[in-house]
């Protein structure tokens, strides 16, 4: 028997239409960062795109993701995972940010992630642009550098833009490695492609020992083989998972600021996340959904579908850390109609 | 000094960006129909379009209206009204409906409006299609027929569709008059236009004494003159205000199921609602926003802008009923930055 | 009692949903140019835009107009006109054209209009670009120059484009005047505006005695005054009515190739057409709807709404020519539900 | 020599532009259910979405499918099939439905399919939502349970929604199995994926012996292997083919009410249908195209492209039943220009 | 005879299609801020929106404005003005900005406007967001405070946002008045409307003597009357003209970050700018076009149409300052075809 | 050390935002066909679609491609190629065309390509429709028939349309083979699919020895295997490369006039072009991007991404012909920030 707290279960899509009601993430309960007790996983929106060097709009990501997220139902048909039964998951609303002050936003976001971490809540960030992973990492790596699994079209390992700006969405992971937040030996980037300004990011990666799997290498190997390497590289210690929606091919996910053709299919993304089950995920993010460029809403829908997969493997990690067994569909008594 | 309850004030747009946070209507507090105490005006979404005879989608209206509504700020520059300081307004989420059962939905919606009415909460419904005004009227007219101010391209006074279907969005006000919910002598329809199937609605209106102001008559008179007639006709007794978004010209508001060219401008709509200040409004609705046909979101934005005007005059009515003076911008101490 | 031929009546919107069924124009019967007998007014699509000098797409106009046209119902609420009861109106499908041969298309279109004219069918053309008015005029002016009422943002009176091309959508009415198809003394253009390449069109108009009413003059006078001038100018003799959708402001009607801001509202267009009732209209057209630029479909909807007004006044002209009295809504026995 | 009836051949795209003319399905002749003689395959639109539990709009499917269908040409380059030469195919327009009465619509649709069946016309339904397969099955299975090949993201095998509604687009095939219309041993579902409310559909399938191939299983096997299993399972007896457009990945086909990421590519869909050649297809449908969510029209284009493949294999089945040999491109004398 | 420099004349739309060629503004010659000699009016794009407090995207304004601007032709039909013959106008490309550094951008933009001013080039800025008017004013008011004609939905007179940010697009004119760049007695704002956070902007305006004409006052007076007041207020001394596209109603111009319903029509905007002919305009801007929200491109088209009107009156001012007579259409010898 | 001419290097995306500045192709220098000296590769837009038999709009292709092209950066991450360092590449603007005269356009375009060829500039054409390859071939094949690598959904090998029109976008390569511009033994078409009017194109191909690889054959072989055949077939002699964007699947690239489902992914297109490195490419084109059907701009983005790949292999060919070694990323000294 599973001791599920019914306050953390969304309504069934077979009872309440999925477009009805206030749009919290996946229709989960709404909580506040100032009072996080009880939740085990906290979804925190960060509506900010002040680090963007090209087309803006990721500030509107959390709103659009929440809108589409209410189409998510209870269980994962492919893996049978029942994340809302496995861990107590809540929507913590949107972080406080300062739209026109990068530095203050870095501090504000770090503080809010620290509050969740202190309360034992595993965070899943909805961006916002990719610079926001930096304050999240600053909060989550307080006990030591983390492993880092990174799905993206871009390395985000450049030093600076526009004559010395060191805090942009093209630089967060250079900063994170420099600050010791990520262990470069436990860092792996998958899906890198497109044109580039120069080779300085690759040179940094090579010097630090960061592993880069380009989309071309990915397509020449099997997905299973690549993901085995990922698991081996990050190992069993605490790991941060970061998914930039521009890792997905822009035919599927046009709603992002810097699209690059030739990316992952959504199905591949689902399979890759599922292959991370078993890792000790301590934080994750899904970033760079830019709704003004998402005419059909399908980018947000892919985003929340990936978030759901992330929640499945993160809930399992939470359960394992708590000594519980993950719940699957078949464990749920009396399935509804 | 005004005794404002700060729990009913939305955050300032100058402190929290308007796209941030969970999208409740105008960023008001979220309440529940089962526990309505404290609120004086309750906004209730009804995500249902089962009465639609043409293009569907109004079921998605409440979601889209809430999304755009967070761009609304604190006070009305034109009238100086400060509705959130004048009355305690809350978002009551979405009503429970049955997507595929018209009859049960009629009962469910009526019950939820009755619950608000019993608790002394003046309701503002966000549709959904126009048939939903019927259960709202059934709940609100329990003490006698109401006056009815109706902005629309269509009379909605037909008898039935499709071989006898008497509950569609083309028939609610015929039913309401037949059931004694609306006093036809205190009923007025403004903006009627377009092609029509036949003259049976006009014949019914003529027989009952319902006043119809076509868009052609409206354009030949001044807006002030028309609205003076409206005020005279409905008088000082309790009145229901219903605004079908298709009253607005479809260049401004394409996102609706049955557009008719040649309608009101949004500015005219604003002026007409403002001219209702002083009426004893006991319930209101804004219906027929169909987001799938609203490519730019501007229909929803017009919808919430009209809802804001309705809230201004309704809050004033609530204050008068409570013996309070309406609050205006200049009454608010210490305006923020 | 009115002797209406039921084969020419579209189904009621209250019996058959307006989106159901094959999309003939206004759900009228489908006839063939080769066998036009019986019909009094023939709607003929011409899916061709080979005269376009700027953005193409008007070739798709007839398809989009037919799609939206099925939202039209039986009678005109503003004028009470019942065009489908007043005259036998049919959809004659699309004219045969040659997409890549201007000259052959001119001949083909003229021949098809001649066939209708010979059979006593008054044509209403759905464009296609505005050059197509030229072959229509060649067919219809066989007995002498026609009066010409022209709503448009542009005069279309230039001599040639691109180094001598004399058949483009910027030149048809210069050709028509040169060929004696239009009587310049009975020609009037309303709504002219925007930037222009030079003053040669105005010089031609001045030399020929063509009357041009710019949008600025239109806005300084009343619509009634302008239309009185129109009626006086064209008088009671046979007249061709041409409506270029770009006469309408592009906020209302973005779906056209050469938009100019500051145009008519659709309501003004409706009123202007209604003011033509009583003229001896022998042919008409609605041109330049370019669906690829019509994201919401509202341009096509305005187009068919204007076509409906044109049909109302044209059916009345047909009835008068046949010695019949126009039918209005109140004449129709037993209005349906 | 092939005895082709020229009345059943659409015009060549090389003679008449594909956007010209009245939009019947694939520019086929228009026939009436009341007088079906002569046709061997009948395409029947059903503009109804009253069974939809999420986003509506499939009622507009037939209109959009007909619009895009006129881009289809004469023969299938991949298989060389010439379906319009192989069988006499006609468009039977749209079925009569009742928009707001589920029960009456079930009866009306069943009756119209029965009329086609009685006349020996093999039907291809264009939806409309997936509940409509139920009345089609009721008509077509009068002589015994049919085999059923089902492409979809969802099983549609649930018992009821919203507190007991047993007729929704999530329940038709549970009803069909319960009513003995489908032989569960000859039923196979391909493409199932996404989140789900619970496991009750799978439990029903397991109990009945229905075969479900999830998208994950599909991707681990070859398409040829999967389709061999399909052919083996349904065998040579009469079979119904049902294609829900949401089987296709929503990047390709966003225009549907309940998209699930990770679906078929259109190329896979084409190959799968081609692999059904040789089965005894007695009826088919293509459902759930919801044009309001189809910004580019590509969903409808995929829909009609799949319908064309279905017509190719169905025409071959018709020909075999009539003792004729299927016609291929090379059999057609005097290829046009 | 007019001594026109042919290098400053765009190609005729009757010779080169308007969609052909590199998109410089209105197909004018491309010049560089570093070498401005010869030009009299310089159009300078500023692709930056770092001052935006709500929906971003104005950084993409210059690109979209240039794209649509190539539909502009040679002369103004309404006023007969021939701006490209009256003054030597050039496109100076886009200003150098720093996307993520507000302070540096203020300096960079000011310097570039100063360079134009020093060379005697009258600038017309294409925004970008409205904060950019501040550095432009800093450059242009070096000889004393300027008159200021301001069309907008918002006063942009607030003190700060987000806890003290004094440089946002809601604050530039408070700064400009504080810094003595604008003479408040010669400042007038037209079109103000919508909801507002508080009354602090109005209090500042009242204290400074800034004149605000709300849209409500505008609609109660004639346009001519309002514009007479504008001319009287700013008088004959040097004046800056600023047009925020959100002054226009969002049905016409949805492509902006903070739309407010009930605004100007584009025709009113044209008439208002024309009424400024005779003022001593020394600089102007058109700001806040946000292409990601401009689905049809019509916002950009309105923007460039307004820019053309601004160029007409600014060219006349330049000519007067140079002792030349403005050129009109009729002055141009040998009108082209 | 590489002797790179800095005038031919676009600005770095890390210094100048990619949306800033005048949109020349990939931000390359702008040159003129009348003065081509110095450039080695010339990109020439041809804004013309007068050969289109179905949906128009390719005339707007060059504008849209230039807009998106500014997102391209300096080097190719997959191949390490640095095309802008390898050869001097310039944008030659748009060719002069005559919108309404096919014959004159054929001559004009041929002449402009001849001018580039005479100056030793290798051309890359941006269409425009596919008929434009014919005048390009006429210019480039003056020394003998060329090899021809052709990516497309259609063979474009038909004889004529619409009763004898021999110059349409469905016929250019039949003309080119007839005129001896292409060596059919060195011609290969890849990606052919969809429905077809008849088999006459295949019969012509078979008779001439043209190799056609359908999409079905392509999917049954490996990409490497197909491309090996391509290289073998065209050999080391001069070759023209033509890429019709409709070769790409329309889910990825909806913005084209005649989409066919089941096409290439953009990643496959990238890989196929890369596999052409080493061929002696003397001219290339990318055609049929029709922006009016490209709601998200992703078709143009795919188009320019493919153009970048074409530039990489063409620059290498140019370098080899000039006896230089292609430059790669690692050759570039002092990589920027």
Note the pLDDT tens digit of each residue in F97-156: 999 899 999 999 999 999 999 999 999 999 999 999 999 999 999 999 999 999 999 999
Q: How far is C68 from chain D (nearest CA, A)?
A: 11
DSSP code per residue over B176-218: HHHTTSEEEEEEEEEEE-SEES-SHHHHHHHHHT-EEEEHHHH
Is E98 inside a domain boundary? Answer: yes
Q: Model confidence over C69-101: pLDDT tens digits?
A: 999 999 999 999 999 999 999 999 999 999 989
Report the alpha-carbon distance of residue E234 to residue E218 in Å, rounded.
18
DSSP bridge partners of A281: A239
With CB atoms and an 8 Å threshold, state whether D197 touches A73. Answer: yes
With CB atoms and an 8 Å threshold, state whether F197 touches D14. Answer: yes
Question: pLDDT band for position E2 (50/70/90)?
Answer: low
What does the pLDDT read at residue A336?
Answer: 46
Q: Which of residues 273-312 of D touch A (CB under 8 A)?
A: 293, 295
Residue spans of chain A under pLDDT 50: 1, 336-337
Provide the residue range defining the domain that includes D102: 7-331
Q: B10 pLDDT exceeds 60?
A: yes
With CB atoms and an 8 Å threshold, state whether A63 touches B19. Answer: yes
Q: Which of residues 70-129 of C touch B (CB under 8 A)?
A: 71-78
Q: E221 pLDDT exceeds 50?
A: yes
Residues listed for chain A: 337
Residues of E in contact with A50 (CB under 8 A): 100
B-D contacts (CB, under 8 Å): 55
Question: Across all residues in chain E, what is the average pLDDT?
Answer: 96
Burial of E6 (0-12, 13-18, 19+ CB in 10 A): exposed
Helix D298-321 and helix D266-274, axial crossing angle in degrees, nearest 10: 0
Interface test with D, best of C13, C14, C18, C20 (most D CBs within 10 A): C20
A-E contacts (CB, under 8 Å): 55
Query: In the structure encoding, which two tokens stand for residue D225, read together?
Result: 């292997």
Q: How far is D132 from chain B (nearest CA, A)?
A: 15
Nearest CA in chain D to C17: D99
Q: Model confidence over F5-21: pLDDT tens digits?
A: 999 999 998 899 999 99
Q: How far is A168 from chain D (nearest CA, A)?
A: 30
DSSP code per residue over E118-149: HTTPEEEEE-S-GGGHHHHHHHHTTTSPEEEE
Q: Nearest CB to D162: which of B52, B55, B99?
A: B99
Report the alpha-carbon distance of residue F97 to residue F132 in Å, rounded.
11
Q: Of C238 and F4, which is predicted with more confidence?
A: C238
Task: Classify residue B11 by its DSSP letter.
Answer: P
Is A337 inside a domain boundary? Answer: no
What does the pLDDT read at residue C3?
Answer: 67
Q: Model confidence over F221-263: pLDDT tens digits?
A: 999 999 999 999 999 999 999 999 999 999 999 999 999 999 9
With CB atoms and an 8 Å threshold, state whether E254 touches B296. Answer: yes
- Residues F137/F142/F147/F151 CA torsion (nearest 10 deg): -10
What does the pLDDT read at residue D334?
Answer: 65
Q: B53 pLDDT exceeds 70?
A: yes
Is E337 inside a domain boundary? Answer: no
Q: How far is A71 from chain E (nearest CA, A)?
A: 25
What does the pLDDT read at residue E173?
Answer: 98
Question: pLDDT band for position C2 (50/70/90)?
Answer: low
DSSP bridge partners of A328: A81
Interface test with C, best of E20, E77, E248, E286 (most C CBs within 10 A): E77
Edge-first strand order for the sheet with F41-45 is F89-94, F41-45, F122-126, F281-287, F239-244, F146-151, F182-192, F211-214
With CB atoms and an 8 Å threshold, state whether F57 touches C56. Answer: yes
With CB atoms and an 8 Å threshold, state whether E102 touches A100. Answer: yes
Q: D298 pLDDT exceeds 80?
A: yes
**What is the sign, positive or negative, of the torsion defined by CA atoms of D128, D130, D136, D138?**
negative
With CB atoms and an 8 Å threshold, state whether A292 touches E55. Answer: yes
Q: Nearest CB to B195: which of C76, C267, C298?
A: C76
Interface contact E14, partner F, CB < 8 A: no
Residues of E in contact with A102 (CB under 8 A): 100
Question: pLDDT band for position D128 (50/70/90)?
Answer: very high
Question: pLDDT band for position F2 (50/70/90)?
Answer: low
Question: Across all residues in chain D, what is the average pLDDT?
Answer: 96
Percent of chain B clearing pLDDT 90 (strictly above): 93
Chain C neighbours (≥3 Cβ pairs under 8 A) are B, D, E, F
Mean pLDDT of all residues in D168-190: 98
Q: Model confidence over C152-180: pLDDT tens digits?
A: 999 999 999 998 999 999 999 999 999 99
Q: Nearest CB to E19: which of F60, F91, F96?
A: F60
| C248 dihedral zone (left: phi>0; alpha: psi -120 to 50; beta) | beta
Residues of E in contact with A293 (CB under 8 A): 292
Tally of domains within chain D: 1
Question: pLDDT band for position E334 (50/70/90)?
Answer: low
With CB atoms and an 8 Å threshold, state whether E259 touches B12. Answer: no
What does the pLDDT read at residue E92?
Answer: 98
Residues of D in contact with F161 (CB under 8 A): 14, 337
Q: B335 pLDDT exceeds 60?
A: no
What is each CA distance from E303 to B281, B296, E257, E289, in whole angstroms? 41, 18, 14, 7
Interface contact F337, partner E, CB < 8 A: no
Assess contact for C172 and C131: CB atoms under 8 A: yes
Residues of E in contact with A100 (CB under 8 A): 50-51, 53, 102, 161-162, 165, 167-168
Q: Nearest CB to C195: which of E14, E76, E295?
A: E76
Interface contact C51, partner E, CB < 8 A: no
Is B112 inside a domain boundary? Answer: yes
Question: pLDDT band for position F266 (50/70/90)?
Answer: very high
With CB atoms and an 8 Å threshold, state whether F78 touches A254. Answer: no
With CB atoms and an 8 Å threshold, state whether A98 touches E165. Answer: yes
Residues of B in contact with E55 (CB under 8 A): 19
Nearest CA in chain F to C105: F162
Residues of C in contact with F57 (CB under 8 A): 56-57, 292
What does the pLDDT read at residue E240?
Answer: 98
What does the pLDDT read at residue A3?
Answer: 67
Is F195 inside a domain boundary? Answer: yes
Chain F neighbours (≥3 Cβ pairs under 8 A) are A, C, D, E
Is B146 inside a domain boundary? Answer: yes
Report the alpha-carbon distance of residue B116 to residue A162 in Å, rounded.
57
The CATH number of residue F238's host domain is 3.40.800.10
* Total Cβ atoms within 10 A of residue F234: 26
> Containing H/E element for A285?
strand A281-287
Nearest CA in chain F to D248: F251
Chain E neighbours (≥3 Cβ pairs under 8 A) are A, B, C, F
Residues of D in contact with F257 (CB under 8 A): none
What does the pLDDT read at residue F193?
Answer: 98
Is A79 inside a domain boundary? Answer: yes
Interface contact C231, partner B, CB < 8 A: no
ipTM of the prediction: 0.95
Query: In the structure encoding, which two tokens stand for residue A324, read together?
Result: 């519980």
Q: C335 pLDDT exceeds 60?
A: no
What does the pLDDT read at residue D336?
Answer: 46
Q: D166 pLDDT exceeds 70?
A: yes
Task: Classify residue D29 by its DSSP letter.
Answer: P
Q: B2 pLDDT exceeds 70?
A: no
Interface contact C206, partner E, CB < 8 A: no
Nearest CA in chain A to E160: A100
Q: C1 pLDDT exceeds 60?
A: no
Question: pLDDT band for position D3 (50/70/90)?
Answer: low
Interface contact E169, partner F, CB < 8 A: no
Question: pLDDT band for position E303 (50/70/90)?
Answer: very high
Question: pLDDT band for position C336 (50/70/90)?
Answer: very low
With CB atoms and an 8 Å threshold, state whether E73 touches C295. Answer: no
Query: In the structure encoding, which two tokens stand for residue D327, read together?
Result: 């016609």
Mean pLDDT of all residues in D315-330: 97
Interface contact C62, partner F, CB < 8 A: no
Q: How far is B336 from chain A (nearest CA, A)?
A: 17
Interface contact B258, partner C, CB < 8 A: yes
H helices then E strands: how many in chain A? 10, 10
């Amino acid at each position: 028997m599973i001791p599920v707290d019914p306050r953390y279960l969304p309504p069934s899509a077979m009872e309440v239409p999925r477009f009805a009601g206030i749009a919290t993430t996946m229709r989960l309960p709404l909580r506040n960062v100032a009072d996080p007790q009880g939740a085990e996983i906290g979804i925190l929106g960060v509506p900010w795109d002040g680090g963007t060097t090209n087309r803006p709009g990721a500030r509107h990501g959390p709103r659009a993701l929440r809108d589409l997220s209410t189409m998510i139902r209870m269980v994962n048909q492919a893996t049978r995972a029942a994340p809302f039964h496995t861990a107590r998951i809540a929507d913590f609303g949107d972080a406080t940010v300062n739209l026109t002050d990068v530095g203050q936003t870095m501090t504000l976001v770090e503080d809010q992630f620290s509050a969740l971490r202190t309360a034992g809540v595993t965070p899943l960030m909805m961006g916002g642009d990719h610079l926001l992973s930096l304050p999240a990492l600053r909060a989550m790596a307080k006990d030591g550098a983390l492993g880092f699994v990174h799905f993206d079209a871009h390395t985000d390992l450049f030093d600076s833009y526009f004559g010395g700006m060191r805090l942009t969405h093209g630089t967060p992971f250079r900063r994170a490695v420099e600050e010791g937040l990520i262990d470069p030996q436990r860092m792996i980037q998958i899906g890198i492609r497109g044109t580039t300004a120069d080779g300085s990011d690759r040179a940094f990666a090579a010097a630090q020992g960061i592993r880069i799997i380009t989309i071309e290498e990915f397509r020449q190997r099997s997905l299973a083989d690549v993901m085995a390497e990922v698991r081996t590289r990050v190992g069993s210690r605490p790991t941060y998972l970061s998914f930039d929606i521009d890792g997905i091919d822009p035919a599927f996910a046009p709603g992002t600021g810097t699209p690059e053709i030739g990316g992952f299919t959504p199905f591949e993304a689902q399979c890759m996340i599922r292959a991370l089950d078993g890792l000790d995920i301590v934080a994750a993010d899904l970033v760079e959904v830019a709704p003004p460029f998402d005419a059909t809403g399908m980018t947000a829908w892919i985003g929340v579908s990936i978030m759901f997969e992330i929640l499945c493997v993160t809930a399992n990690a939470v359960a394992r850390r708590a000594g519980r067994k993950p719940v699957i569909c078949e464990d749920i008594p009396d399935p509804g109609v």
